[in-house]
Structure 1
């Protein structure tokens, strides 16, 4: 009898090896698209990231337990010379000390290592991650994408036109195995826009939340309200 070869499940997550430092780059996610439009890519990425374990914990009534099990995953959405949108593998490597600070954040490497394309030709579009509690972008989210803007282009020319570098945080109104993509928050350093997108019956709806004005390194203003780093 002829044996049937089994195809292993694609690897979607990558973490540093024990006793090694943080990952400096992420490999491509081979079974993702590629997609012709960035919104199609974002839509798929949202579903994929929120399908990960504990990517949404809004269904857990015990706040201590929810905080302990919540997990953040992050990845890059990028534009390549084939004029399509690709995604890196996910990581959930964390900056925080899970003993002292149980709530995890995801440390996104600055680069993607995709052997199909020269490194200089990869255009970074969206820094993607999930918010397990469904809240808006945090102060660290805003500062992180500004830091990336010092390394990558602020605006990329694509087949869709000009697309700015942005921080994106996906959220779900349900949790566990029932978690679904209900929307995302987006901040664009180039335009200072903070936007919320929600998905209803498969359609995306945009809500402009205002412009962020930085007062100093630890303070910004949005719609007349001043916010400071915690």
Structure 2
């Protein structure tokens, strides 16, 4: 039986967590207004549909960050030396001159090896995904990922959320543009109270294959906030 592709698995997880957070948000809203709880299936469907549409791009974004800036790279100070494998070998070649004289020459031969760039990229990818004890945290790459995720990623996610939910609710372009202008900054500032810490923990302590699940779990609480915010749109 074929395994579920990681991007599909991540989307399914996001759907479950987003549905949970939206239901919790609706229950909190009913409690705050002192009204009996009645599930708004339209709002729930909109929130879930947005998760289905937004999770694949986010998955690809995180994958690109990790591929471009591997969080863990081979520790050359502790890794065993591979010089013995690269030692040139002495072989004997026999040549015959035009006069018929046989000459033996000893030459050095080195087996072909992949380019340094390809090998480094391959090792970096493997190490970053397995979090091997023979690797170490790459501070520079981790800082680059963090900065990109908290600037470009945060901005695109916020605009995507406001525009996506607005479109699903039937708003026109002018209304969506106004919402982006009025709500983006406050939503990003609110996000900075949570997601920078989550990103640091994720990039430094959580293996790559578990980062989306970790973010989704934390995202339940954030999803409650987004659901409450979306309810006011």
TM-score by length of 1: 0.25
Q: Which has the higher strand share?
A: 1
Q: Which has the higher helix share?
A: 2
Task: Report which structure shows greater RCO (CA 8 Å, sep ≥6).
Answer: 2
